[in-house]
Amino acid sequence: MSYQPVSPLIVQSLIDIVGSSQVHSSLSKCTAYGQDKTEDLLFLPEVIVLPKTVVQIQQIMRLCSQNQIPVTPRGAGTGLAGGALPVCGGIVLSMECLNQILEIDEANLQVTTEPAVITEVLQEKVQEKGLYYPPDPASRGSSFIGGNVATNSGGPRAVKYGVVKDYVLNLEVVLPNGDLIWTGANTLKNSTGYNLTQLMVGSEGTLGIITKIVLKLIPLPSHSLLMLVPFRSPTKACAAVSAIFQAGITPSCLEFMERAAIDIAANYLQNNTLPIKEEVQAHLIVEVDGNHLDSLYLDCEKINSVLEQFDCGTILLADDQTTKNTLWQLRRNLNPAIKQYSAVKKADTVVPRAALAELLKGIHQISTQHGIRAINYGHAGDGNLHVSLLQEQLPNPIWEQQASSTLQAIFKLVKSLNGTISGEHGIGWIQKKYMPLVFNPVELQLMRAIKKTFDPTSILNPSKIID
Amino acid sequence: MSYQPVSPLIVQSLIDIVGSSQVHSSLSKCTAYGQDKTEDLLFLPEVIVLPKTVVQIQQIMRLCSQNQIPVTPRGAGTGLAGGALPVCGGIVLSMECLNQILEIDEANLQVTTEPAVITEVLQEKVQEKGLYYPPDPASRGSSFIGGNVATNSGGPRAVKYGVVKDYVLNLEVVLPNGDLIWTGANTLKNSTGYNLTQLMVGSEGTLGIITKIVLKLIPLPSHSLLMLVPFRSPTKACAAVSAIFQAGITPSCLEFMERAAIDIAANYLQNNTLPIKEEVQAHLIVEVDGNHLDSLYLDCEKINSVLEQFDCGTILLADDQTTKNTLWQLRRNLNPAIKQYSAVKKADTVVPRAALAELLKGIHQISTQHGIRAINYGHAGDGNLHVSLLQEQLPNPIWEQQASSTLQAIFKLVKSLNGTISGEHGIGWIQKKYMPLVFNPVELQLMRAIKKTFDPTSILNPSKIID
């Protein structure tokens, strides 16, 4: 697809729409908006536009569709797959000014929000009303809820409460041609026509621009208990995960962390409050929640008896908020800690839960064969393992080549285990070359046709997900 | 769209594909396969084909797409919106021979099944392994799981556990041109490309033919308690529904039944074991479930204290299986009982939960204005009210005209309350004329374009959902 440059005339038209204070093209701004949290990738946009209203977004899209100018919508720029990178140049459309929670509907347990509300802020605001929005990606302190919807993100609580898609009831969306739609209704059930809502969730800004979001909420559980469980064998830790569910318990979190990941994070946080024994090679974090504390203690006892069968060490039970916070801080900082430690390429592998041990073993075999160290952690309860391939001392050309081959081999393994290549980060820019590993040509063609239906001239977030 | 007739040559080709025992065209068969549970509608197909394998289905679709012959896929024929009616003639493709549960994966809490397994059979088979597939439409004793997926059906447990779409992980689908795809992966999380799975769920057999289904399961809760709660005021019963959630409790069922519905069902079942006081005008059925019986009794106490604020009568607590079964039998037979009582037109209204009382009041006002009696029951916890308009003594032409105006007015009310026109039955044939009440022209055009992407010559279940 060929595009037109953002001419001075177009820039003036953009200024006419949003005002001169909302249009930027300095190198520093272009550099800032030309990257997200994906490796060290940088693609300079020609211009950055910060609309304040939905009508302005419609006008911008009409202008760009008439002039064949690529538009890359951007949330908080916390993505790990390059979904917000303006890889074809053109305009970065930052949603940051649409940042209001519009209504918390306590009677219906719903919230209507603009997309640029920080996830954690939204969670706190509804929590003040005794309500709960469970999806909590590690980046929730900085990511926008709109970006969470665009990537169908998850987080630790997905294992009990589901991912973002399970909370999105209805979306207001500006289509590439500037038309405005609502995808559904503000109802818990809906069998009225094709599910445009779920087609939009996880479409990474390639089908439309999300301008309002109606989310389902649930009553806030009043209690939780957290356990940190050490294992000598990472494989046994993975195997224990399935056994907990088979014992009839659905924890509210079930996280896995390899020893190396914990050490790097503890160092990053300069946290020495968790003395970890030398023989420990992995941890599980297990959380249960609910309204009846007695029942939770019973659940923990049952979980303990399961875990003991997998040769776990002494379990730390965190029932006070300080210890819980320490553990979560550690977990949430794994990604930035590893990124600070070394240049890294990430994979967001996901397999059926019981295949986790086999996946972990395979990842280490493959990466070792390629001379690369892999560090793994993730949402074990969902079979969702985040793989970090570390460059460490490898020279650049070898690193790029070997990392690419390693990812290719890991994704092939994932597919052979009935899994797929992204659980919650999305495909964006960096994973799209691997899509043919998990979809056949007919399936890929169907996705292309859907893209074309929404965006016939491919101006909206072009070159993402699929070519 | 114009279609070709099923010529003798085509019939011979069908016989070549599936064998002569699997092709029918007698009047009695055509009559049986020309109707479902929607009113008294009948559309005769030209021929009925019963494939036994996925490859046969692919061959049939290739034949029909090459010859522009309409194909209407059919599950158990329990639909209430006419989704399985061959309104353009052609072929009824009955899925009834693809009726095997292929694998119950206890390690991953998943089941892989063919589409023609009866929902209740699937539930019982996984329950034998201690696993739970919650969606339970009232028709579960006869409906097929494939039809449940095609309509995104729900049932009483949706209020806590979600609808069918929340359990479908992956689908094998034959496209209208005979190509075969899988829509996703067998994983709990998936952010890999467009969500073809959720586009297929609820598409009522208009985009593809579902041939295999991978469903998520959860651990079976070990206990439940059921309450039957009488109210003098149906409006207060509806208002109580929201209050229960606001008190922090998510029941596993929260059903509403008007007095007239219960009387008709009790009469149909010849059941006199539920002596209902004269002043009672509505009931709620409230169920809580979980693994800790003590906690459930505490939940029931809390629910009781909420309900008392809404002037409820004496609550019947069902903690034995016999009483539970009696209550559920009553609830599940409301639909056939009403259908036996009078010719009926149904609506599957759904609104945000707190708008339920207003919806109920509006339905009675509107139907009374049109000289029609409406009886209402449904999944109050989801804001999903099934409306039955009764013909009773009305002469046919007046009935048809007045019922249509009544439905139109009710759906307008639903839309004004932020609801929509089908919560779980689908749009099918009978509700499609109301689609412009809830979707604007851009939204409708987008749905048409999606249909065209999958089925360019509109041979698969034509004239359904949208024209």
pLDDT digits (tens, 9 = 90+) for B200-255: 999 999 999 999 999 999 999 999 999 999 999 999 999 999 999 999 999 999 99
Q: What is the mean pLDDT of residues B150-155?
A: 96
Which amino acid would we find at residue A30? Answer: C
Q: What is the CA radius of gyration of chain B?
A: 22
- Residues of chain A with C-beta less than 8 angstroms from the C-beta of B195: 152, 165, 198-199, 201-203
Reduce the DSSP state of residue A148 to 3 states and report it: helix
Which amino acid would we find at residue A353? Answer: R
Q: What is the CA radius of gyration of chain A?
A: 22
In Å, the largest CA–CA distance within chain B is 70
Predicted confidence (pLDDT) per residue in A61-95, tens digit: 999 999 999 999 999 999 999 999 999 999 999 99
- Residues of chain B with C-beta less than 8 angstroms from the C-beta of A437: none
The answer, for B412 touching chain A at a CB cutoff of 8 Å, is: no
Of B192, B250, B453, the CB nearest to A420: B192
- Are A110 and B193 inside 8 Å of each other by CB? no
Q: Which residue has the tokens 């052979």?
A: A416
Give the mean pLDDT of chain A: 96
Reduce the DSSP state of residue B377 to 3 states and report it: strand
Surface of A (148-177) touching B: CB under 8 A: 151-154, 158-159, 162-163, 165-166, 175
The answer, for B336 touching chain A at a CB cutoff of 8 Å, is: no
Closest CA to A152 of A203, A108, A226, A207: A203
> How far B354 CA lies from chain A's nearest CA (Å)?
6
- Are B443 and A182 inside 8 Å of each other by CB? yes
- Are A195 and B191 inside 8 Å of each other by CB? no
Predicted confidence (pLDDT) per residue in B10-30, tens digit: 999 999 999 999 999 999 999
> How far B76 CA lies from chain A's nearest CA (Å)?
18
Token pair recorded at residue B447: 């749905």
The answer, for B441 touching chain A at a CB cutoff of 8 Å, is: no
Separation CA A214–CA A185 (nearest Å): 9
Asked if residues B151 and B129 have their Cβ atoms less than 8 Å apart, the reply is no
- Are B427 and A193 inside 8 Å of each other by CB? yes
Q: Which ranges constitute the DSSP H helices of A88-188?
A: 119-127, 145-151, 158-161
DSSP single-letter state for residue B220: P
DSSP single-letter state for residue A272: -
**How many CB atoms are closer than 10 A to CB B451?**
23
The answer, for B440 touching chain A at a CB cutoff of 8 Å, is: yes
The answer, for A93 touching chain B at a CB cutoff of 8 Å, is: no
Please report the beta strands in A197-311, taking only residues with DSSP state E, as ranges in sequence order: 209-216, 218-219, 223-231, 253-258, 282-290
Residue B327 is predicted with a pLDDT of: 85
Which amino acid would we find at residue A424? Answer: E
- Residues of chain B with C-beta less than 8 angstroms from the C-beta of A163: 189
Mutate to test the interface with A, among B191, B438, B464 (most CBs of A within 10 A): B191
Mutate to test the interface with A, among B194, B223, B291, B438 (most CBs of A within 10 A): B194
Asked if residues B24 and B64 have their Cβ atoms less than 8 Å apart, the reply is no
pLDDT at B276 over 90: no
Which residue on chain A is closest to B170 by alpha carbon?
A418
> How far A14 CA lies from chain B's nearest CA (Å)?
25
- Residues of chain A with C-beta less than 8 angstroms from the C-beta of B452: 453
Which residue on chain B is closest to A353 by alpha carbon?
B108
- Are B354 and A384 inside 8 Å of each other by CB? no
Predicted confidence (pLDDT) per residue in A438-460, tens digit: 999 999 999 999 999 999 999 99
Which residue on chain B is closest to A132 by alpha carbon?
B248
Separation CA A114–CA A98 (nearest Å): 6
Q: Concatenated DSSP letters for B284-310?
A: EEEEEEES-HHHHHHHHHHHHHHHHTT
The answer, for B218 touching chain A at a CB cutoff of 8 Å, is: yes
Reduce the DSSP state of residue A253 to 3 states and report it: strand
Which residue on chain A is closest to B451 by alpha carbon?
A194
Strand pairing of B373-379 and B282-290? unpaired
The answer, for A190 touching chain B at a CB cutoff of 8 Å, is: yes
Length of chain A measured in residues: 467
> How far B267 CA lies from chain A's nearest CA (Å)?
31
List for chain B the helix, strand, coil content (%; round to 5): 40, 20, 40
Closest CA to B73 of B101, B33, B43, B110: B33
Residue B338 sits at the vertex; the CA angle it makes with B336 and B340, to the nearest 5 degrees, is 70
Residue A319 is predicted with a pLDDT of: 81
- Are B295 and A292 inside 8 Å of each other by CB? yes
Reduce the DSSP state of residue A440 to 3 states and report it: coil
> How far A378 CA lies from chain B's nearest CA (Å)?
12
- Residues of chain A with C-beta less than 8 angstroms from the C-beta of B351: 187
Token pair recorded at residue B450: 């999606």
- Residues of chain A with C-beta less than 8 angstroms from the C-beta of B299: 291
Of A190, A295, A350, the CB nearest to B420: A190
- Are A191 and B202 inside 8 Å of each other by CB? yes
Q: Out of A248-257, A327-336, B439-448, which region has the weakest mean confidence (pLDDT)?
A: A327-336
DSSP single-letter state for residue B460: B
pLDDT at B315 over 90: yes
Which residue on chain B is closest to A444 by alpha carbon?
B193
- Residues of chain B with C-beta less than 8 angstroms from the C-beta of A202: 190-191, 194-195
Predicted confidence (pLDDT) per residue in A337-362, tens digit: 999 999 999 999 999 999 999 999 99
Mutate to test the interface with A, among B157, B159, B189, B242 (most CBs of A within 10 A): B189
- Are B107 and A222 inside 8 Å of each other by CB? no
Of A242, A292, A353, the CB nearest to B298: A292
- Are A294 and B292 inside 8 Å of each other by CB? yes
The answer, for A329 touching chain B at a CB cutoff of 8 Å, is: no
Predicted confidence (pLDDT) per residue in B237-251, tens digit: 999 999 999 999 999
Size of interface A-B (CB pairs under 8 A): 287
Q: Concatenated DSSP letters for A92-120?
A: EEE-TT---EEEEETTTTEEEE-TTSBHH
- Are B352 and A419 inside 8 Å of each other by CB? no
Give the mean pLDDT of chain B: 96
A131: exposed, middle or buried (C-beta count within 10 Å: 0-12, 13-18, 19+)?
buried
Q: What is the mean pLDDT of residues A318-343?
A: 89
> How far B28 CA lies from chain A's nearest CA (Å)?
32
- Are B195 and A201 inside 8 Å of each other by CB? yes
Residue B320 sits at the vertex; the CA angle it makes with B318 and B323, to the nearest 5 degrees, is 60
The 8 Å CB, 24+ separation contacts for B7-13 are: B10/B63, B10/B67, B10/B69, B11/B47, B13/B63
Residue A275 is predicted with a pLDDT of: 67
B159: exposed, middle or buried (C-beta count within 10 Å: 0-12, 13-18, 19+)?
buried
pLDDT at A1 over 80: no
Separation CA B165–CA A106 (nearest Å): 25
- What proportion of chain B, given as a percentage, has pLDDT over 90? 92
Asked if residues A169 and A187 have their Cβ atoms less than 8 Å apart, the reply is yes
**How many CB atoms are closer than 10 A to CB A320?**
10
Which amino acid would we find at residue A423? Answer: G
Please report the beta strands in A8-155, taking only residues with DSSP state E, as ranges in sequence order: 23-24, 47-49, 71-74, 91-94, 101-105, 110-113, 131-132
- Are A152 and B292 inside 8 Å of each other by CB? no
Mutate to test the interface with B, among A126, A171, A192 (most CBs of B within 10 A): A192
The answer, for A107 touching chain B at a CB cutoff of 8 Å, is: yes
- Are A188 and B353 inside 8 Å of each other by CB? yes
Of B218, B291, B449, the CB nearest to A453: B449
Separation CA A230–CA A237 (nearest Å): 8
Looking from the CA of B345 toward its CB, the CA atoms found within 13 Å total 20
Residue B275 is predicted with a pLDDT of: 67
Of B158, B187, B465, the CB nearest to A383: B187
pTM more than 0.95: yes
